[in-house]
Structure 1
């Protein structure tokens, strides 16, 4: 694209023009992300979304997702997973997309505090809990978390680069697997998102091995 050529040659330009080329590329990237998300939403609406099911280790995927998204800030993440692999039958692309959304959101709203990621299992289900200790959200916001384009703080849209469709798509991805994606939060006590999936394709979630309301929710203190 012409914009990419300009960006690659920005060192030859006046500083103001070079900065403009950076902004142009950023806006193009955001537009492409929005277009991709809108296409995905249209597939859900048309009931045309399909699963590419494979067997994979969810524990390994969680670790790799944290390392990929925040390699320099991994010490801020407290990851608790089984030493043994937990294999599930699911669409790895869609599950990784859910994890990226939940982990990125938790980090963005963590206020610099630790983010806890827990992976555990029952006989037929596996659950991933993502807990942050940031600002949290109130009951009114809770009912709209998974609405398309909704944001509790619209100003974050200018800094996070998101489309406002991430949680909506994550919920649809979970439902496509006959799974669950639930959220708990309280103002100034952070948030907890729990993704529960059936281990075997073609079955549905009956219960989650992770409680939605975290046991540490009684305290607002958390070591960073």
Structure 2
């Protein structure tokens, strides 16, 4: 019995040493252990105590279970000392040694969900990012891949990237890429002076250090430094990193504090540096900056050139079809009507391309003013009534609001309502399309319900992406570009509202968006917003 106790202690210590050697065989041990393993971080210490307590309990349980199992099934009286004592201990040692690491990783993932503290493999993060960047075909795709990698690894709530245009040595904000935070969060405009300040500094800016510098030096002459601190605080970011390609500032990436509240570690800074270098290298190699700008300019120029002739064609056809202008043979009128409908479709497509170009270049303008949303929806209903009748569809409009006034751009909102109702008609075969206005706190909600094809859950995440169209047998013959919802979402986001969808395949969809209510005394005011 005494020998059994000694054997148990020897085997258990051997197992513990083996496991610890496997665990600490890590490149991080070359650095300062206090920094590498965050020894003074109470949250980390608590997590490790919790994890290793469970692991110790599991190890003891496994050991006892294996030894008892051998004792019961092999038999204590009929076996030699070798089989009775040594083999169970060897089996327990192997089981604990090989099971330790997978269980530890699983426990760490579980605790990370509650504490927001997680460790990441630097090599794995950069490898996955490399795969994602390799398939990027635009500047936006490359930047979003980079931000997603940092958000996931460092446990951030969001990330913002201001893409800049460098014209005549002046850095101007072109457009914004945001992940994890709505664009309306960016209440403060990104001024050209701030861009110039970041361009001159050419190094990361920590908001806390910036604010401390301002407090300690009250006579500070750098006004831009104060503005940078105010701007960073207004959008809740902790640090800003200027991004250069061939000495040219292409943008500024901003990140908030970690969800855990921990400071950025040396490993975090190393990750950011490597990820930035990796992304810049891909952008430079693929010439994504130049291609992105050329593509946007080409679409804009081509759209403008197409818009004039299509408008002329549409105008002349409209005049010919006007009964008071000239008498047309019924057969000819039928063909002219089709030509007129096609010219209208072409005109809408050109306008959509212009809107996409404006969105991507950060030049989509929203001119907000007071207007009656109920009257606007009625006008859209009248416009699409003929389309609905052609498919034997009814359009029902209900306004459950006392005051239908909202604060937005009426032309842009007309475009959104028209897109949603047109889609409802397009994807419905029979039944009724219901448009409803309702109040929702400080907003007015517009809903468009149809009982058409609907969509599957896997399509929802891509619904508001550019050029996305659902691919089902029912939609193959339905015409469309996949731009309407993309444009609508950007318009609603810029208007301070939100757009949502509820759908079920085969049952139909409900698209809804909110707009802020008009405030008393705002009828004479106008507000111009640009991305």
The structural deviation recorded for 1:166 is: 0.8
The answer as to 2:360 corresponding to 1:45 is yes
The structural deviation recorded for 1:39 is: 1.1
The structural deviation recorded for 1:38 is: 1.1
Q: 1:19 & 1:79 partners in 2: Cα distance?
A: 31
In 2 relative to 1, CA 21–60 (structure 1 residues): closer, same or farther, beyond 3 Å?
A: closer
Which one of 90, 109, 112 corresponds to residue 427 of structure 2? Answer: 109
**Root-mean-square deviation (CA), in Å?**
3.2
2:405 touches 2:518 (CA, 8 Å); kept in 1?
A: no
Indicate the residue corresponding to 1:84 in structure 2.
Answer: 402
The structural deviation recorded for 1:110 is: 2.3
2:393 touches 2:431 (CA, 8 Å); kept in 1?
A: no
In 2 relative to 1, CA 83–196 (structure 1 residues): closer, same or farther, beyond 3 Å?
A: closer
Indicate the residue corresponding to 1:189 in structure 2.
Answer: 507
In 2 relative to 1, CA 22–123 (structure 1 residues): closer, same or farther, beyond 3 Å?
A: closer
Aligned residues: 194
Indicate the residue corresponding to 2:347 in structure 1.
Answer: 32
In 2 relative to 1, CA 102–2 (structure 1 residues): closer, same or farther, beyond 3 Å?
A: closer
The answer as to 2:493 corresponding to 1:155 is no
Indicate the residue corresponding to 1:58 in structure 2.
Answer: 373
In 2 relative to 1, CA 130–23 (structure 1 residues): closer, same or farther, beyond 3 Å?
A: closer
The structural deviation recorded for 1:185 is: 0.7
For the pair shown, the structure with the greater C-alpha radius of gyration is 2
Q: 2:431 & 2:313 partners in 1: Cα distance?
A: 41
Q: 1:105 & 1:190 partners in 2: Cα distance?
A: 11
Q: 1:179 & 1:98 partners in 2: Cα distance?
A: 12
1:59 touches 1:85 (CA, 8 Å); kept in 2?
A: no
Tell me the alpha carbon deviations over residues 45-80 of structure 1, each in whole angstroms, 9 at most, x when there is no partner.
111111121201112211221122115749812222
- Give 1 or 2: higher helix fraction: 2
Q: 2:403 & 2:518 partners in 1: Cα distance?
A: 15
In 2 relative to 1, CA 111–123 (structure 1 residues): closer, same or farther, beyond 3 Å?
A: same
Q: For residue 155 of structure 1, give the secondary structure of its aligned residue in structure 2.
A: coil
The answer as to 2:496 corresponding to 1:175 is no
- In structure 2, list runs of 5 or more residues that go unmatched: 1-311, 321-325, 520-526
Which one of 150, 164, 167 corresponds to residue 482 of structure 2? Answer: 164
TM-score (normalised: structure 1): 0.73
TM-score (normalised: structure 2): 0.33
1:124 touches 1:200 (CA, 8 Å); kept in 2?
A: no
- In structure 1, list runs of 5 or more residues that go unmatched: 203-224
In 2 relative to 1, CA 37–63 (structure 1 residues): closer, same or farther, beyond 3 Å?
A: same
